[in-house]
Copies of this chain bind each other. A is one copy, B any other.
Amino acid sequence: MKTHNFSAGPCILPDEVFKKASDAILDFDNSLSLIEVSHRSPPFVNVMSKCISLVKELLNIPKGYSVLFLQGGASLQFLMVPFNLMKLNGSAAYLNTGTWSTKAINEAKLFGNTIVVGDSSDKNFNYIPKNYSVPENIDYFHCTSNNTIFGTQIKEFPKISSPIVCDMSSDIFSRKININNFDIIYAGAQKNMGPAGTTMVIVKDETLNKTGRDIPTMLNYQTHIDKESMFNTPPVFSIYVSMLTLEWLKNKGGIDYIEKINNEKANLLYKEIDRNSLFTGTANTEDRSIMNVTFSILEKEKEKIFENECLKNKISGLKGHRSVGGYRASIYNAMPIKSIKTLINVMQKVENL
């Protein structure tokens, strides 16, 4: 019996991706392992360029944008964004919707005037602030599209004239987005894209080089645009597996297809949470994430029973983040509907015990 992996990330990837990644470590090219080939060799240069093409195709990225594969996770982006976009004596607006937004805000403060225009910390981030106003003449506005820990998701992005930067680590490739509305999008790979170890950045080229700052080479997006993500040795394995995952997504039917399935999967689970007398959802209903479903149990004495029943059914990774408690089912692109049905069956069984 296969484990149902509800981990928040690193997380489940498609079975065929595991299989192909495992094979490539034994034989990638002409009897060499994937992890011993030079990143400058044609077979790997081809992987990098195919990976970038797939991103552009799947997300329908218009001309004037570059796609980068970097290292350091979203956490390094928290400082690269202000380093590259916040002018000397400039300012930026941030929407605070959770732990990761808060971290991004703290890094921005090192660079200049950081205005928090909306903040849902008053209710432990269980909702997305709305009707906030973003000041004019800021260098950029920053938000987090999906809050992995709290299970909330921005359904509508603000319409403003300033550049918009968005951390999409936990919902990239899960739903249609209009790239034209964004200037920088970044995402750690380890949810819908691949294994840990690489971070995708989509940059509108004309947004850059306006700050007057001396930016260290590795932190300058322009470096990586000019060198096509090969300024230094890229994380070969993580990029290869991201390519495999994006190929899988394309073959499935792309974002249109996966968004439909993701909505079906999320609806199924939320419907059960709302119906089942034993459980309650954590996030504000209209802000519920289609990637991370947070909920808790109403009868404390049934907690252990539920957790044991999960264990028996090989349901793993369901523990909520310590700052929220309860449970969190992360149901990323690669999560089969069968696993969600298994979880629902367990929820129903424990309700009726």
Contact = CB atoms under 8 A, between A and B. Distances in A.
Contacts of A198: 197
Interface string A1-35: 11101011111110000110111011000111101
Contact of A214 (B22, B72, B110, B197): B110
A217 interface: yes
Contacts of A241: 35
B235 A235 contact: yes
Interface in A70-86: 71-76, 78-79
B10 A30 contact: no
A305 to B, nearest CB: 22
A59 interface: no
Nearest to A241: B35
A218 to B, nearest CB: 5
A107 B216 contact: yes
A25 B36 contact: no
A199 to B, nearest CB: 9
Contacts of A197: 71, 197-198, 235-238
Contacts of A73: 71, 232-233
A321 B235 CA distance: 21
A204 interface: no
B237 A196 contact: yes
A106 B36 contact: no
A71 B195 contact: no
A95 to B, nearest CB: 20
B22 A18 contact: no
B13 A32 contact: no
Interface string A171-202: 00000000000000000101000111110000
A288 interface: no
Contacts of A21: 25, 35
A4 to B, nearest CB: 10
A18 B8 contact: no
A196 B10 contact: no
Contacts of A11: 36, 38
Interface in A53-91: 71-76, 78-79
A234 interface: yes
8 contacts: A3-B31, A3-B32, A9-B38, A71-B197, A73-B233, A196-B234, A196-B237, A237-B238
Interface of A: 1-3, 5, 7-13, 18-19, 21-23, 25-26, 30-33, 35-39, 41, 71-76, 78-79, 103, 106-107, 110, 188, 190, 194-198, 214, 216-219, 231-238, 241, 314, 316-317
**Ordered nearest first, which 4 A-B pairs have the shortest CB separation?**
A197-B235, A35-B195, A71-B71, A79-B216
